Chains A and B, each alone.
Chain A
Amino acid sequence: MAPKDTFFRSSDMSLTQLYIANEIGREVVSALGELGQVQFRDLNSETSAFQKTFTKEIRRLDNVERQLRYFHAQMDKAGIQMRSSSEFSDTLAAPLASEIDELAERSESLEQRIASLNDSYETLKKREVELTEWRWVLRETGGFFDRAHTHTEEIRQSFDNDEAPLLRDVEQQNHRGANGEAQGQQSFLEMNIGFVAGVIPRDRIGAFERILWRTLRGNLYMNQSEIPDPIIDPATNEEIQKNVFVIFAHGKSIIAKIRKISESLGASLYNVDENSELRRDQIHEVNTRLSDVNNVLRNTKNTLDAELSQIARSLAAWMIIVKKEKAVYDTLNRFSYDQARKTLIAEAWCPTSSLALIKSTLQDVNDRAGLSVPTIVNQIRTNKTPPTYVRTNKFTEAFQTIVNAYGIPRYSEANPGIYTVVTFPFLFAVMFGDFGHGALMTMAAAAMIFWERQLSKTKLNELIYMAFYGRYIMLLMGIFSMYTGLMYNDIFSKSFTILPSSWKWPDDIQAGQAVEASLKGSYRFPFGLDWNWHEAENSLLFTNSLKMKMSIVLGWAHMSYALTLQYINARHFKSRVDIIGNFIPSLIFFQSIFGYLVVTIIYKWSVDWPARGQSPPGLLNMLIFMFLSPGTVEERLYSGQGGVQVFLLLLAVVQVPIMLFFKPFYLRREHNRARALGYRGLGEQSRVSALDDDGDMDGRASGTRDSIASDGEGVAMIAQDLGEEEHEEFDFAEIMIHQIIHTIEFCLNCISHTASYLRLWALSLAHQQLSIVLWDMSLGGAFENENPTTRVIMIVVTFYLWFTLTIFILCVMEGTSAMLHSLRLHWVEAMSKHFMGEGLPFTPFSFKTLLEEDPVD
């Protein structure tokens, strides 16, 4: 048992039962929500949402929340900024019940006020739009009429020709003579022509025209013009382009038909007088009414804005309060209620190390409420699998996320996160090795860490937020990249020449002469790769060999480390069969092939082959022929090699049947022995008192079991649904199949995973070559320029090019790809060696996570 919580294992969890006095239920849950260390189990999962105890309160809070959202929507519409929630201190904890009531009442009345203001605002706005449209109609139709009146003579002629009686002409003549001043304004009425004027959205105009034409068979004269300004629809706040139209037609029934058609097409019709005098009056009237409406509108708007900004000042706080309150009642609904004793009974998982804190919190709440009945915290022994809770801090959080993305660790298994902290950035750095790029990355990460408090408050876009979330990963990646950069002797594709090289060139070199360097003696370049390799023609030949072998050795080390954790897990879960049947054979298998390969790599390096007068054997061929023709060695590495290789091969082969059969047969024997002694599987519902001590902590997963604590006596009943327990029954075939798959997978994966680490070599080669190419294509070329003036200009210009591309391509793009490869090496190559990852995540009831997941602003 771990004495305290570490990052190595998930925290010890206890299932506790809380007996809470009904009066302080709300306060207790609220305090625990602030603490964020308790995961309540749902004891009423079978009751429907309506039957739960606190449904009424939740409904009420839902209503308040809706009102607050309505305010928020209104604010958005009016463009009023809400005061950010980060400006409020954390004193929003546990408001009194009366405060909630007050808030509910207040938001109720505010809602009514806002709604009425809004209503009147909208009505006024509608009125304003109507008036504006009318004004446009008046203005535009005025134009038509004026134009039309100058042509009445022609229009009349056309009528006269077909149907007008002869006499009527005379009558009209007389009539006209009688009121001479009206001569200029011959009325259309006299010609029995009516008209309809109005406004219609521009996109409907085509359909409108077509329908009119078809229904009236062309018996109309339509005139239209566009309104230059868009008209804003008060209901939707959308801008609509509209046209003014006026339609002249003959006969009342036709006019009525036109009216109907235009109304059905969404046009609004306006009353226009054909008399220009009257029209002028109308325009005047419309204008005055419009300015009146505008005045009232402005006042209403001001009042509304003032009211909303008043609300905006505290809206975020209200929203937080309501959200918390709702979460509290949701949680209370998970409790079972003891009618007789007026107590709430809750079952909850919490970290054992937090129990003291929880108890003191509950004591505080009790004291504050002045209640004599204490809240009882009871630990229950259970064989349910506890949820996995890995305590993280801001440093480990992102690393744990890497692990959790693959799988939640099983309860109390060794957490891969602990080595991921180092190996993830390190393997990244092996691929990203460049001192300069590493330094840039370190600086970026350091800046984010330096300003982390400010940055965590601002809203960042998704990409930057991801970088910010992983800032500590980035810091380690940067630092390790600087180290590996020193190892590869690369800084922005150039090399450090501080330390003396171990190579010297011949004395008299002619220009263009191909020369080969020779060693200076027993001196060797002490730190990293000799810089003389950098410019050499055969540098790739050397670095490829180095990096390839380095990948194998690092991969072997990484996988061996991960494999050892299998032993630690098996020991923790007290499963000797896993140690003997899985861990030891796996280890021997892996080491006798790939451990041997690593040994030969190191051996080959440490032998001075030219001094021996021997040509070094190829290791890859050696490994292949170790399988193909065991015992025969074509190029000898050391004496007795054949025998050793045969032995190792046999050792590896022998492990396969051990891995295959040991565990299944051992388990079957154990099972049969237990059957022989008369043990049977669990039968009907068993009733376990909470105070009973005979339950056994079982480390093995036992699936989900429903527990119902609904007993009047406050005794927990643990119902075991046998339907879900079937996997607990011993099924030899299943275990055997599982073990066969495991064995085949392990043996094949040893080969493919080792080869997979060669990506370290491939990516570091690509990164280095890309940065060399970038240098040569931009800044490097500028230095070669002959003319001093253009050289200066070129250096400045290409510097910017080079620097930008370095950041975006080499650091961001290459960095992302190296990160993904490193991620894969952890998820697939390392974690497959030991990680079970079938845990259930610990999801404590916490206001903090609640507000983080669903922020109010």
Chain B
Amino acid sequence: MANGWSLLIGLIVVVGLGIAAWVFSPKGENQTLWRSTLILSIASCYLMWAITFLAQWHPLIAPKRADIRPDRVPQ
């Protein structure tokens, strides 16, 4: 499902989205604004997702709990 390759796939998707945003931004005097806003948004969101994913890729610590009830182990 989701492993190290996701970062690359995500990057490709995001670059694709960015190109699409550049091409399909509505024409007119607000085209620059549309392009900048869409591409920056896509880039920022990707950046944050990628950081969160990277941090969990090779985790150095594992979650610890002492309050798990035997009949309700979270799956």
Contacts and interface: CB of A to CB of B under 8 A. Distances in A.
A586 to B, nearest CB: 22
A381 interface: no
Contact of A524 (B57, B64, B68): B57
A7 B75 CA distance: 50
A143 interface: no
Given A5-B29, A511-B69, A515-B66, 16 more contacts: A7-B30, A422-B44, A423-B44, A426-B44, A504-B75, A509-B73, A517-B63, A524-B53, A535-B74, A537-B65, A539-B63, A546-B51, A554-B51, A605-B55, A605-B57, A609-B60
A67 B22 CA distance: 58
Interface residues of B, number: 42
A309 to B, nearest CB: 47
B63 A421 contact: no
Interface string B22-66: 000000011111001100110011011101111111111111111
Nearest to A615: B60
21 contacts: A8-B36, A396-B33, A422-B44, A480-B41, A483-B48, A501-B74, A505-B68, A511-B69, A514-B65, A517-B63, A519-B62, A523-B3, A524-B3, A524-B56, A525-B56, A530-B63, A533-B63, A535-B67, A557-B44, A605-B55, A607-B58
A391 interface: yes
B2 A525 contact: yes
A516 B55 contact: no
Contacts of B33: 6-8, 396, 418, 421
Interface of A: 4-8, 391, 393, 396, 418-419, 421-423, 426, 430, 480, 483-484, 487, 497, 500-505, 508-519, 522-530, 532-533, 535-539, 541-542, 545-546, 549-550, 553-554, 557, 602, 605-611, 616
Contacts of A511: 69-70
Contact of B29 (A6, A422, A541, A608): A6
B68 A515 contact: yes
Contact of A483 (B45, B51, B53): B45
Which of B1, B30, B48, B60 has most A Cβ within 10 Å? B48
A423 B44 CA distance: 8
A419 B36 contact: yes
Contacts of A605: 54-55, 57-58
Given A6-B29, A503-B63, A524 B6 contact: yes
B6 A526 contact: yes
Contacts of A528: 49, 52
B46 to A, nearest CB: 11
B10 to A, nearest CB: 9
Contact of B48 (A422, A513, A550, A602): A550
B66 A553 contact: no
A155 to B, nearest CB: 96
A542 B70 contact: no
Contacts of A549: 51, 55
A606 B57 contact: yes
Which of A514, A524, A546 has most B Cβ within 10 Å? A524
Nearest to B73: A505
Contacts of B45: 483
Given A393-B30, A418-B32, A426-B41, A518 B52 contact: no
B63 A532 contact: yes
Contact of A503 (B3, B62, B68): B62
Contact of A419 (B29, B40, B62): B40
Closest 6 CB pairs of A and B: A536-B63, A526-B2, A422-B40, A514-B66, A6-B32, A605-B54
B65 to A, nearest CB: 6
Contact of A546 (B2, B29, B55, B64): B55
Given A8-B32, A511-B69, A515-B68, A524 B2 contact: yes
A512 B32 contact: no
A818 to B, nearest CB: 16
B65 A430 contact: no
Nearest to B70: A509
A88 to B, nearest CB: 30
A326 to B, nearest CB: 34
Contacts of A430: 48
Interface string B1-18: 111101000000000000
Contacts, number: 164
A557 B51 CA distance: 12
A686 B59 CA distance: 73
A554 B75 CA distance: 33
A500 B60 contact: no
Contacts of A393: 30
Contacts of B41: 422, 426, 480
Contacts of A514: 64-66
Nearest to B44: A426
Contacts of A610: 58, 60
A525 B1 CA distance: 9
A606 B54 contact: yes
A418 B59 CA distance: 37
Which of B41, B44, B64, B69 has most A Cβ within 10 Å? B44
Contacts of A532: 63, 74
A546 B64 CA distance: 17
Contact of A608 (B6, B53, B54, B58): B58
Contact of B70 (A421, A510, A524): A510
B36 A542 contact: no
A377 to B, nearest CB: 23
B32 to A, nearest CB: 4
Contacts of A5: 29
A550 B48 CA distance: 7
B70 to A, nearest CB: 5
B61 A542 contact: yes
Nearest to A433: B48
Contact of A391 (B29, B55, B70): B29
B61 A553 contact: no
A611 B67 CA distance: 30
Nearest to B45: A483
Contacts of A519: 59, 62
Contacts of A539: 63
B47 A553 contact: yes
Given A418-B32, A421-B37, A426-B41, A500 B58 contact: no
A503 B3 CA distance: 14
Contacts of B70: 508-511
B33 to A, nearest CB: 5
B1 A523 contact: yes
A538 B64 contact: yes
Contacts of A546: 51-52, 55
Given A510-B70, A524-B2, A501 B75 contact: yes
A810 B63 CA distance: 27
A498 to B, nearest CB: 12
A545 B33 CA distance: 35
Contacts of A483: 45, 48
Nearest to A524: B2
Contacts of B48: 430, 483-484, 487, 550, 554
B73 A553 contact: no
Given A426-B41, A523-B2, A525-B2, A515 B60 contact: no
A649 B41 CA distance: 33
A598 to B, nearest CB: 10
A550 B60 CA distance: 17
